[in-house]
Amino acid sequence: MRHIISILLENEAGALSRVSGLFSARAYNIESLTVAPTDDPTISRITVVAHGEDAVVQQIVKQLNKLVDVINLMDLTENEHFEREIMLVKIEPKGAQLDQLKVAVHELAARKLEQHENIITLEITNIGLKLNEAVERLKPYNVIEVVRSGAVGIGSGNSLLKI
């Protein structure tokens, strides 16, 4: 099963290493990892996306909760939540494709960031599955480069993360 784990922890050197070390110690692959400070610069949020057996994830969560740096932790997949990733895509469409590309950009809710000569840079924000579909949809327009962030997530109004 896919798990999105949101961790609030003290923003100190080595904290990320200790968190990722718990996953690697169990030979558990991290699909995506996003780290950023919160509105309090002494606290960071780590969002980890991983696939695996529920029992193994539960064990990792228990061990994460024991780390001294961890303030709070929530497996977002256990409750209603929102998640998003951001993707930047460089494409080089041919002249005849521009009208079709405009339709695709609109349908994908993409935002054109830049057009330099024949190269267009797009920004798309959505869930990971929809971004995968967007890449497939844009392939006919000569995709040059794709850059994706990791997932970020937050519990919905009825599943608040308590601090």
| pLDDT-based confidence at residue 158 (cuts at 50, 70, 90) | low
Residues 101 and 46 in one domain: no
On the question of pLDDT at 161 being above 50, the answer is no
On the question of pLDDT at 162 being above 60, the answer is no
Distance CA 157, CA 155 (A): 7
Last residue in a domain, options 63, 79, 95: 79
Cross-strand bridge partners of residue 4: 49
Tens of pLDDT, residue by residue over 23-52, are 888 777 889 999 999 999 999 999 999 887
Residues 132 and 148 in one domain: yes
Residues 53 and 118 in one domain: no
Last residue in a domain, options 79, 106, 131: 79
Q: Concatenate the DSSP letters of all residues of the chain into one string.
A: -EEEEEEEEE--TTHHHHHHHHHHHTT--EEEEEEEE-SSTTEEEEEEEEES-HHHHHHHHHHHHHSTTEEEEEEGGGS-EEEEEEEEEEE---GGGHHHHHHHHHHTT-EEEEEETTEEEEEEEE-HHHHHHHHHHHGGGTEEEEEEPPPEEEE-TTS----
Residues 43 and 87 in one domain: no
63 compared with 113, residue with greater pLDDT? 113
Identify the domain containing residue 135 by its residue range: 82-152
Residue 163 lies in a domain: no
Residue 159 lies in a domain: no
Last residue in a domain, options 39, 58, 79: 79
* Domains identified in the chain, total number: 2
Residue 91 lies in a domain: yes
Q: Write down the residue that tokens 């099963």 correspond to.
A: 1
First to last CA, the chain: 27
Residue 128 lies in a domain: yes
Residues 102 and 128 in one domain: yes
Tens of pLDDT, residue by residue over 114-153, are 999 899 999 999 999 999 999 999 999 999 999 999 999 9
**Prediction pTM value:** 0.84
Residue 64 lies in a domain: yes
Residues 95 and 74 in one domain: no
Residue whose C-alpha is closest to residue 50's, from 81, 29, 34:
29
